[in-house]
Amino acid sequence: MNVIILAAGIGARMKNLTKKKPKCFLKINGTTLIERLVTQLKKLGLKDISIIVGYKAESFLLKDVNYFYNKRYSNTNMFYSLMKAKKKMKKDTLIIYSDILLSKNILKKMAKTKKEFAVGVDVNWKKYWKFRFKKINSDLESLKINKQNHILEIGRETKDLNNINARYIGIIKTSKNINKKIISVWEKEKYKSKPNWGISGNSLKKAYMTDLINKIINSNKKKIICHAIKFKNGWYEFDNKKDFFNFKNYKFKIAK
């Protein structure tokens, strides 16, 4: 298994905190997010690690890591960045966001799952959302899961809590067979300019990973099952300055 970390974005909502370095260089307890993640992965025996860089790419000086450059980082998004490392997707892969703090338990369970296509989700997300926004009905997107723990829909903007069985936490496990399907989607559609390619309403080049997940599970003649791997907290998202400065008050344990 290899690992691909998505770290090309500007992190504009962090404002002055990302003026000189990418968001994943924010320090938590004296260690940057990217250093922490790479160290965690290596401790789990995952040493084939690739980072997709873009904004302030020269900041990345970690050793024993593969780098891929998205020169169009300012006007593209995660799916586009992922395809910069498609040559690494010839075997099972963990795809991880660089701006999210993940517990050892989450990383270990996602790395060890035997499912061909699996997405980490938080079923206890409402407690985190109350801490983060002081309310639940903010920044919501759909994540429908059936009784077999199969994801039916993910990534649609919604205000209906009935459409949200959990919260996506920024980590995906794909088998080499699923990777072939992902690359096939890209090769077939990369020259299309459809503005609402994904469930988010974004074009292909600006598609989120949730757009891709939703496309894979809903656009194939043969049904592809995406499994929800459930957790109760154990993660923290750094989306804006408030998230960064509030982390010191976060009470839910995120073990090293």
Q: What does the pLDDT profile of the chain (256 residues) look like in tens digits?
A: 999 999 999 999 999 999 999 999 999 989 999 999 999 999 999 999 999 999 999 999 999 999 999 999 999 999 999 999 999 999 999 999 999 999 999 999 999 999 999 999 999 999 999 999 999 989 999 999 999 999 999 999 999 999 999 999 999 999 999 999 999 999 999 988 888 999 999 999 999 999 999 999 987 667 899 999 999 999 999 999 999 999 999 877 665 4
- The fold for domain 2-249 equals Spore Coat Polysaccharide Biosynthesis Protein SpsA; Chain A (3.90.550)
Question: What does the chain look like in DSSP terms, one character per residue?
Answer: -EEEEEE----GGGGGGGSSS-GGG-EETTEEHHHHHHHHHHHTT---EEEEEBTBGGG---SS-EEEE-TTGGG--HHHHHGGGGGGTTS-EEEEETTEEE-HHHHHHHHH---SEEEEEETTHHHHHHHHHSSSSSS-EEEEE-TTSBEEEEEEE---GGGBSSEEEEEEEE-HHHHHHHHHHHHHHTT---TT-STTS--GGG--HHHHHHHHHHS-SSPPP-EEEEESS-EEE--SHHHHHHGGG--S----
pTM, full prediction: 0.96
